[in-house]
Amino acid sequence: MANYNTWFEMRWTLRRKWFSVWDVRDYYTNLERRAEAGAEITYGYVLMVIVSALLATGGLLLNSPAIVIGSMCVAPFLGSSRAVCIGGLFRNRRVFLLGLVKQLFGLLIIGAGIAYIITVLLHDSIPMVQITPEILPWAMPATQSIVLSILVAVSAGAGASLALTADPKVVETPWGQVIDAVIGVEIAISLIPPAAAVGIGLAFGRLDISYNALLLMVVNVLGLDIFGSMFMLVFRGIRYKYLLMEKKIRHAVESALVADLAEIPNEFAVNVTLLGENVATIHVRVENQQGEKIPETLAQSIGTHVYQKTHFKSEVSLEIIPIQVYSTI
């Protein structure tokens, strides 16, 4: 019996460590927020896609792998790929569709469009501009190249998701942004060169080049967003139900504040840290203006309310911040 209990504990510890993410404050809520941010088309995103498309077009026409690699280093497709992946996993149709639109808009409208315009202008003014050997692997790939491209796309997507789960506490730090930059380069490897090849093919009237490059790009998008990124998150135990748990606990805390305080504070924050399937720590920060009375049993009341609403056992810490306001408005 003792051996069985030891085996069971080891199995549970392994499952808890490798196939779920616990003990990270607001982890699932932050994942959703990062996906929402990644789905937005910003001015900076458009500019970065333009720069990367210019570099990719120049590198392909000059037959320079180094310049093509440079285009990958500035292509900003990590956010949109993450939005598609997490939006799909968390059943957020709006984030999923916006992320996909952002990704395809950047690749086909901006990326391929810039490549088409630049190629037409150069071809009219410099007759020596032509299809180069550097374009062919993206535009007319052999079976071996297709298989390897899919492998790269799936691996890059898995790496992007692994960066969010392997050491989740580090991802939100400045070092996490370095990880994002590295993974962003890996993602751009499979996207911006074929997008540029689509525009170049159209400029030369080579529809076969554009068609083949477009197919390769679509396959790579699926490999990145779905078969790589989403599979890795599912494998690591990221589930929609955990996001609902965080939100349900946060809503229960807010309900407790409504029930126990005569006047709801203007500013309060609720942080939820899931420790397991039915255990969590809760940190509540309330700004208390002069004259407002906070019940001494508020933390206990919050814990009781959370258990009644969610059946979660919890440890509640309540931080009350005294606020003085003076205004001449």
The residue length of the chain stands at 329
Q: 287 and 314, same structural domain?
A: yes
What confidence tens digit (pLDDT) does each residue in 123-153 have? 888 878 888 888 888 877 677 777 777 787 7
From the CB of residue 318, how many other CB atoms can be counted at a distance below 10 Å?
17
| Whether pLDDT at 67 is above 70 | yes
Q: 134 and 45, same structural domain?
A: yes
What confidence tens digit (pLDDT) does each residue in 249-263 have? 999 998 888 887 766
**The model's pTM:** 0.83
Tell me the average pLDDT across 300-307: 91
Q: 134 and 119, same structural domain?
A: yes
- Which of these three, 238, 272, 306, is where a domain ends? 238
Confidence at 188, pLDDT banded by 50, 70, 90: low
C-alpha to C-alpha distance for 252 and 274, rounded to whole angstroms: 15
What confidence tens digit (pLDDT) does each residue in 208-243 have? 999 999 988 988 888 888 888 888 888 888 899 999
Number of domains in the chain: 2
Q: Residue 105: which CATH number?
A: 1.20.1080
Torsion, CA 288, CA 247, CA 100, CA 191, rounded to 10: 80
Q: 307 and 176, same structural domain?
A: no
Q: Residue 273: which CATH number?
A: 3.30.300.20
Enclosing domain of residue 266: 241-323
Residue 212 placed within a domain: yes
Exposure of 296 by Cβ count < 10 A (0-12 exposed, 13-18 middle, 19+ buried)?
Answer: exposed
Q: 178 and 87, same structural domain?
A: yes
How far CA 99 is from CA of 11, 89, 94, 159, in Å, comes to 37, 13, 8, 19
Q: What is the DSSP letter of 91?
A: T
| Whether pLDDT at 7 is above 50 | no
